[in-house]
Structure 1
Amino acid sequence: MNLTLTKYVLPLKHTFSISRESHNFQDSMVVSLGLNDKVGYGEATANPYYKITFESMQQEIESIRTEIENYTFTTPEDFNQFLNKKHLSNFAICALDLAAHDLYGKILNKPLYKIWNTDNSSYPITNFTIGIDSIDNMVAKMKEQPWPIYKIKLGTDQDVAIVKELRKYSDAIFRIDANCAWTAEETISYAPELKKLGVEFLEQPLKADDWTGMEQVMHASVLPVIADESCIVESDVEQCGYHFNGINIKLTKCGGLTPALRMIKKGKELGLKVMVGCMTESSVGISAIAQLTPQLDYVDMDGAMLLSKDIAKGIKIEPNGNLIFPNTGGSGITLL
């Protein structure tokens, strides 16, 4: 296979802030895998919380470049198994795994959702994320992007007041993501008022390892709670099943579509709601997530919508949230 690694600095429409960081640009690595006349594309974005940079991923992959280029490609699953023996970070594996799936589907000339025997006539609508900002700016972002479901980032000293104010300007469904910023007591206290304000669920209110606190929340919260930072890899799903109502799977964190498919299956077996989220990827990463949507209860795949300039075309998200799937195989990605 022919391997290419490309760095992109993705510009955001607005400064994006969560409880622990803010940024105006998103570093991203796009991997291309070529075989014969087909090219598959995958992506993983840098992330300071997990100490991942473009350079760290590049160094990892370059260390096994010869092995990748000499690899006899058969299926993405076999390729993922090969990668897992090479001691790469899950972010680096994700980019390669997504590229392998896109390549495989293009070879077969079938979109991934069809290869997986799923029906794309029904799927959840993505939420649109409103990052932490002044209330006026958060309202302005909502007005700029009317949407049926908003994910609102919180983790301030006026969280409930923010939601009360935003509710004045929209009748959309609200989802709250505190990114580990609350205590169990705060979560339990905020939940009744947030429920009255039309909040659907709370995402990762507590620190990732606060299992004792999450047990309290599970018993006392009037709103469902979805794991994010507590659910990174496959082995986390079972523990989350005892402490959350659902899980948010991130392809970059778990290592791509191959493990994500197993996590979706395990989550459903445990009776959990299953969500897949993004990490501000371009349409390269978002188009891969879109292939999973027929299997999901919720999805957060607005990454490319947050960019002022995209680098690829693939899945198209219409103004009402409906998806137009590419006609090409795999994830249907073409670089611009």
Structure 2
Amino acid sequence: MAISISLHQQSWPLAQPFRISRGVKSHAQTIIVTISDGEFQGIGEAVPYARYGETCASVAAQIEALGCEFSSDAALQHAISELKAGAARNALDCALWDFNAKSQSQSVSKMLKIPLRPLTTAQTISLDSTQNMAVAAKALANAPLIKVKLDADSVLDKMRAIHVAAPHSKFIVDANEAWNFDLLKAVLPTLKQYNVALIEQPLPADNDQVLAQLTPCVPICADESCHTRHQLAELKNRYQAINIKLDKTGGLTEALALLDEAKQHGFIIMTGCMVASSLAMAPAFLIAQHADFVDLDGPLLLSSDIACGFEFHGTQMAQSTPFIWGEVKAHSNKIAEL
């Protein structure tokens, strides 16, 4: 039976503006793909990211260029594999995994032999004034892991205030490529004193080779510098950790391969996300089962999540029953009306 694909754009209002070193946004714009053979239906969500030259229009065009109908799931899988790593491939790949789970009456976690357990996710503090970031940290003071978005301005002042507000938390500092090498070297020792456990992408991805000269007291994590397993060899002497995001890998298939090879290389594993609904987090949750750091709080940044998404109890996230993706007994997979 022929398999068809369709897509639509979803705009998710955020609970409050989300600011990083590259800018601020009030909505998360995603692409949702549906794969169907008339009996079974699979869905996947991806986030087009301007940093990588993507827009909703360009991602939709990539998907539409494949055509809307395929003779089999194998034919569709081949077409997906021909796409470059990015949001378009991610949405299609994850939708196909979900479709196969439904059509084969077996959950994705069982197909992959990855038992699912509740996980602790980082909670994110958006870039803001020192005072406002301290207030946000105080509200999260019981969180074991907090992710802090920073630029190059007042790094130590902000982290000092945040650490005072949440003295028992550990921190991931995410600079989104906003620092230079001198700043990184200058702040490292003090950041360690402030319970910073990981520093994510401090330098621009095209200027990170200088990290080979550094033996950091806090592990440095590649985000923008690491998309697929093919980059691991050159990153080995620069970074101690990598952040696996499905919108970079181009879906769960490559994310699994990246996870396996990164562990062989001895990298610390972080599982991250773009801001999106639980539908986008669901396949990443499988990768997160093997991660040292989990940052999948995207749905908590939305004013409302998709139906049958993750249940969050403080910093703990677990699949709901029924669940939106990858489960045989999930609901009908009709996209919820918001």
Q: Report the TM-score when normalising by structure 1.
A: 0.90
1:251 is displaced (CA, Å) by 0.6
> What aligned pairs does 1:107-146 form with structure 2 within 5 A after superposition?
107-121=103-117, 124-145=119-140
Q: Work out the CA distance in 1 between the residues paired with 2:108 and 2:202.
A: 33
Alpha-carbon distance change, 80 to 233 in structure 1, aligned in 2, over 3 angstroms: farther
Query: Is residue 206 from structure 1 mapped to residue 198 from structure 2 by the alignment?
Result: no
From 240, 245, 251, give the equivalent of 1:250: 245
Query: Is residue 56 from structure 1 mapped to residue 51 from structure 2 by the alignment?
Result: no
Query: Is residue 287 from structure 1 mapped to residue 282 from structure 2 by the alignment?
Result: yes
> What aligned pairs does 1:4-15 form with structure 2 within 5 A after superposition?
4-15=6-17
Q: Please report the RMSD computed on the Cα atoms of aligned residues, expressed in angstroms.
A: 2.0
Alpha-carbon distance change, 150 to 252 in structure 1, aligned in 2, over 3 angstroms: same
- Could you tell me which residue of structure 1 aligns to residue 222 of structure 2? 227
**Post-superposition CA distance 1:125-180 (Å, at most 9, x none):** 21111110112322333344553211101113201110110112212111101111
Aligned 8 A contact 1:26 1:46 in 2: no
- Could you tell me which residue of structure 2 aligns to residue 37 of structure 1? 39
SS in structure 2 of the partner of residue 279 of structure 1: coil
Q: Work out the CA distance in 1 between the residues paired with 2:191 and 2:256.
A: 32
**More deviation, 283-292/112-121:** 112-121
Q: Specify the code of the residue in structure 1 equivalent to 2:313.
A: E
Q: Work out the CA distance in 2 between the residues paired with 1:243 and 1:326.
A: 42
- Could you tell me which residue of structure 2 aligns to residue 155 of structure 1? 151
1:244 is displaced (CA, Å) by 0.7
> What aligned pairs does 1:174-185 form with structure 2 within 5 A after superposition?
174-185=171-182
SS in structure 2 of the partner of residue 209 of structure 1: helix
**Post-superposition CA distance 1:74-118 (Å, at most 9, x none):** 5xxx74443232x45621011000111111112233332221112
Query: Is residue 191 from structure 1 mapped to residue 188 from structure 2 by the alignment?
Result: yes
Aligned 8 A contact 1:245 1:273 in 2: yes
Q: Specify the code of the residue in structure 1 equivalent to 2:87.
A: F
1:298 is displaced (CA, Å) by 1.7
Alpha-carbon distance change, 320 to 206 in structure 1, aligned in 2, over 3 angstroms: closer
Q: Report the TM-score when normalising by structure 2.
A: 0.90
Q: Work out the CA distance in 1 between the residues paired with 2:274 and 2:81.
A: 22
Alpha-carbon distance change, 35 to 147 in structure 1, aligned in 2, over 3 angstroms: farther
- Could you tell me which residue of structure 2 aligns to residue 173 of structure 1? 170
Q: Work out the CA distance in 2 between the residues paired with 1:173 and 1:53.
A: 34
- Could you tell me which residue of structure 1 aligns to residue 72 of structure 2? 72
Q: Work out the CA distance in 1 between the residues paired with 2:190 and 2:87.
A: 37
Q: Which runs of 5+ in 1 are unaligned?
A: none
1:222 is displaced (CA, Å) by 0.8
Q: Specify the code of the residue in structure 2 equivalent to 1:292.
A: I
Aligned 8 A contact 2:21 2:178 in 1: yes
Structure 1 stretches (4+) deviating beyond 4 angstroms?
A: 143-146, 325-329, 331-334
Q: Work out the CA distance in 2 between the residues paired with 1:186 and 1:80.
A: 45
**Post-superposition CA distance 1:242-262 (Å, at most 9, x none):** 211111011111110000000
**More deviation, 277-286/321-330:** 321-330
Aligned 8 A contact 1:12 1:25 in 2: yes
Q: Work out the CA distance in 1 between the residues paired with 2:302 and 2:93.
A: 24
SS in structure 2 of the partner of residue 65 of structure 1: coil
- Could you tell me which residue of structure 2 aligns to residue 330 of structure 1? 326
**Post-superposition CA distance 1:164-200 (Å, at most 9, x none):** 1011221211110111111222112211111111111
Aligned 8 A contact 2:114 2:286 in 1: no
Q: Specify the code of the residue in structure 2 equivalent to 1:290.
A: F
From 312, 315, 318, give the equivalent of 1:317: 312
Q: Which runs of 5+ in 2 are unaligned?
A: none
SS in structure 2 of the partner of residue 285 of structure 1: helix
**More deviation, 170-179/33-42:** 33-42
Q: Work out the CA distance in 2 between the residues paired with 1:314 and 1:288.
A: 12
Q: How many residues align?
A: 327
Aligned 8 A contact 2:130 2:157 in 1: no
Aligned 8 A contact 1:274 1:298 in 2: yes
SS in structure 1 of the partner of residue 242 of structure 2: strand
SS in structure 2 of the partner of residue 292 of structure 1: helix
- Could you tell me which residue of structure 2 aligns to residue 95 of structure 1? 91
Q: Specify the code of the residue in structure 1 equivalent to 2:152.
A: T
Aligned 8 A contact 1:57 1:91 in 2: yes
